[in-house]
Structure 1
């Protein structure tokens, strides 16, 4: 599956831009970098939060703000851009191996697919690199959901209405889908009419995440008001007895206290509404990952006779199948390795994450500790999927020598390779838990770096702020130079080309592989840096910001 690893690098995702009103949590002032952006550490509300709470993040429309384009003047969070930039480079490892035919694509030498039998493991370097690249699809989609919240808050403060924001989300979805169609047709030489190597999934999930955030933005206020009304009804008798005294001196003392108490109650109502919505987001994220298990034709179980266990309930029509199911049928003109609805859970978690990190100022220590604790929760969930045999789309699928040596043992505990084998197409719960834990640990690492130091990691920041541009250019560069390199230095490896299976000439020397990857990254760096600077000068609603 070409373009795996979540390729689009969160391309679809808006880059998380913090509004200029957001506080610098560690007391540092925002400082610009050469890519044209100003950076703070992890964002949090400052004194502006009080006014935001009163309007749920809405700001009065300034004159002309709903018409002419306004350049966004906010600051960006460092850690998400650093993570995205790192994931871009990790993704390129996978695509470099495809371009050079260095090894078979998959930890088990086959795609990590629902119900796919694994008979032998890839060699160690290939297994490690491929497992690392699993972080990419998850990270890009997660950061996309996070970015929706940041963009929504930022544009709301510029005076954008919910309708205008919804239109922006829809236009971006359409543009990215169009890029998917054109790019796939070009990359395959017309063999595929539609190639969803993740960009289409990100486009659809971006739209759905944006609409979900807009809905929450409205219902959170309505629920807080409803809670306040119910509280007042329940406490009406007590309130009336408190307010009926005729003592003017007592009134002079109690009225300010009552106003203060009422303000506290209002804040409590808002917090309760916020918490309820967060719980709903957790439930929704779990439902949207577990439905990959529920909708599996064979329940994720490998069997000699799948007809006995298969419901065969998935639709055959590609226009219906593309949303939930992987489509890689030989000879088909449509290839979709990333069904949009199968990856939606990560975007929903991104919304939840952004709501938490922007709810209040966080010290660097608290931020790091919070990320580590969240990573531990996901790690525990991953271990439970192995030990308790739930949430896997690979039950009875591991049939390697490791399992043959220990036929009575839990197959996931037969070896390290078995333990970390997860299904990506579509993501099962084990994949969900393992990759979320990895991404949160990386965010903890980047959050721990002092901002003045993190701003110097310019390569990651440049790649992280030019996501879709990087994705398109890096594929053209890797596969273009890869063809030349294979023609000049390659030999017969037996590893088929992903588009032209008859071509099995490649470069399997590891020094050549890593050198090729490093050279491509160095070639991409100044180009992405220049594009990042160019994009940073454009208006908030410019189409250039889509890339």
Structure 2
């Protein structure tokens, strides 16, 4: 084992990437684009909840449900990547970098991603979304890495296992929640006056817990190698899935959305796996991260033409994330105009959760959504491939922020 560990450490110290991590990250990035394509193109995306068992179809439910894996695995692996960085950065440098990059990501989310989502240059609504939660989590993790590892692990476990205790307080709370509380644990909308609003979409506390556990997972990942690591990852992955099944079956704690027996077996299964994403519950995290860990065990040494393509997206997730939002929304605008609308009809007045160039009850079937999604991924591949090669051959400081 010692020889294998030395080899793993040497790979990390040389700045090389671990293919299985990039493969999993690339896969969830590709799947993530499916959800955003559905948001902008599906006919019922803004009028129907795809997880509503009364109105959904199995295809629509599963199209939405499979994308649940994206945000938690991406955040978890962001924490793992931070552990990998700790192998060739001292604690002070890593802490400083995480705080600066976290601030940068918060700014990027507010300025760039809000515009990409809405195409609204006046920013009538500012939404705090995925990148915001990752940025804030990085800032906190930049402070936490000064603590002993056991303390960091303990904090992560307390957050993930315990944050759903706040559900009971929230259920009994009368009146509105403050913006600070909303940023911590409960999504909410707040008026900023003069026709502007703030929508807290990704409360940070549970996502911080996911990132912390991802960071601690990095130590496990580098402490073992080869067949031994595969066995440990398999046991851990199955263990997390079993934890999900047991706690979900008890139906008391871990998710505010209780499951129930439906009028058929399929819908009962759907009810069982329909866990809360906003904010991510304990069961949501276990349901998604457990299979992600299993994936790392099963596909550690898998290399073929398909995985080589997927890995490319996992190596440049930030660029891909930025570009795919702009591309999907730009295509949405083109389709909007081709349906006979003019440009001014696509601009919504005042605070409106509906992005510009989307009309409620207009759009396309799920099969068309899948075709557009595949086209988006194909279009972005050569750009991501070029940038991946550029990052490999250049060591410029600003590349670490992308």
Q: What is the TM-score with the length of structure 1 in the denominator?
A: 0.63
* Corresponding residue for residue 179 of structure 1: 108
Rounded Cα–Cα distance in structure 2 between residues aligned with 1:78 and 1:199: 23
Partner of 2:283: 430
Distance in 2 between residues matched to 1:332 and 1:147, nearest whole Å: 36
Task: Label 1:423 to 1:125 Cα distance change in 2 as closer, same or farther (>3 A).
Answer: same
How far apart in 2 are the matches of 1:448 and 1:420? 30
Cα displacement string for residues 200-255 of structure 1 (whole angstroms, at most 9, x for unaligned residues): 10011122223323433xxx6xxxxxxxxxxxxxxxxxxxxxxxxxxxxxxxxxxx
Map of 1:75 onto structure 2: 16
Alignment partner for residue 488 of structure 1, among 322, 328, 338? 338
Partner of 2:293: 440
Could you say which residue in structure 2 is the equivalent of 1:462?
312
Quote how far apart the aligned CAs of 1:99 are.
Answer: 1.2
After TM superposition, give the deviation of residue 476 of structure 1 in Å.
0.3
Question: Which of 271, 296, 299 pairs up with 2:167?
Answer: 296
Q: How far apart, CA to CA, are the structure 2 residues paired with 1:479 and 1:414? A: 32
Partner of 1:110: 49
Tell me the residue number matched to 2:97.
Answer: 168
What is the aligned partner in structure 1 of residue 399 from structure 2? 544
1:213 paired residue number = 145
Seen in structure 2, the aligned counterparts of structure 1 residues 88 and 415 have a Cα distance that, compared at 3 Å, is same
1:417: which partner in 2?
Answer: 270
Tell me the equivalent position of 1:535.
Answer: 391
Q: Per-residue deviation at 1:384?
A: 1.5
Conservation of the 8 A alpha-carbon contact between 1:173 and 1:203:
yes
Deviation at 1:446, TM superposition (A): 1.9
SS at match of 2:211: helix
Is this contact kept in 1: 2:83–2:216, CA < 8 A? no
Tell me the CA shift for residue 287 of structure 1.
Answer: 1.7
C-alpha spacing 1:523/1:48, structure 2 compared with 1 (3 Å): closer
Gaps of 5+ in 2: 342-351
Q: Distance in 1 between matches of 2:123 and 2:376?
A: 27
CA contact (8 A) 1:281 1:348 kept: yes
Aligned positions, number: 385
Change (3 A) 1:78 1:543: same
Equivalent position to 2:251, from 377, 389, 396: 389
1:142 Cα deviation from its structure 2 partner? 0.5
Does structure 1 retain, via aligned residues, the 8 Å contact 2:164–2:255? yes
Residue deviations 1:334-390 (CA, integer Å, cap 9, x gap): 122111212112112112211112124x22x33332222112111111111222113
Describe how 1:271-290 pairs up with structure 2 within 5 A: 277=150, 280-290=151-161
* In 1: Cα distance, 2:216 partner to 2:87 partner: 14
Q: Which runs of 5+ in 1 are unaligned?
A: 1-21, 26-43, 50-56, 58-71, 113-117, 157-161, 221-276, 300-308, 407-411
Distance 2:77 2:167 in 1: 27
Change (3 A) 1:286 1:103: farther
The structure with the largest helix share of the pair is 2
Query: What is the SS of the residue equivalent to 1:195?
Result: strand
1:238-317 alignment runs, 5 A limit:
277=150, 280-296=151-167, 310-312=172-174, 315-316=177-178
Q: 1:77 to 1:431 in 2, by over 3 A?
A: same
Cα offsets for 1:168-213 (capped at 9, x unmatched): 1111011111111212442331344532221010011122223323
Q: Which one has the largest radius of gyration?
A: 1
Match for residue 230 of structure 1?
none
CA displacement, residues 413-458 of structure 1 (integer Å, 9 cap, x when unaligned)? 9711111110111111211210111211222232142xxx258733
- Kept in 1: contact 2:333–2:357 (CA 8 A): no
Once the two structures are superposed, what CA deviation does each residue of 1:61-120 show, in whole Å capped at 9, x if it has no partner? xxxxxxxxxxx84221110101111110000000000111344379xx4387xxxxx562
Structure 2 Cα separation of the partners of residues 384 and 197 of structure 1 = 31
| C-alpha contact 2:60 2:366 (8 A) present in aligned 1 | no
Within 2, Cα distance between the matches of 1:520 and 1:87? 15
Q: Give deviations 1:500-534, integer Å, cap 9, x for gaps.
A: 59812543323321111111111100111112222
Task: Describe the shift of the 1:516–1:388 C-alpha distance in structure 2 as closer, same or farther (beyond 3 A).
Answer: same
Q: Is the 2:206–2:281 Cα contact (8 Å) retained in structure 1? A: no
Instruction: Kindly state the Cα deviation for residue 296 of structure 1 after the two structures are TM-superposed.
Output: 2.8
Measure, in 2, the Cα distance between the counterparts of 1:413 and 1:531.
43
3-state SS in 2 of match to 1:335: strand
Q: Equivalent residue of 2:17, what SS? A: strand
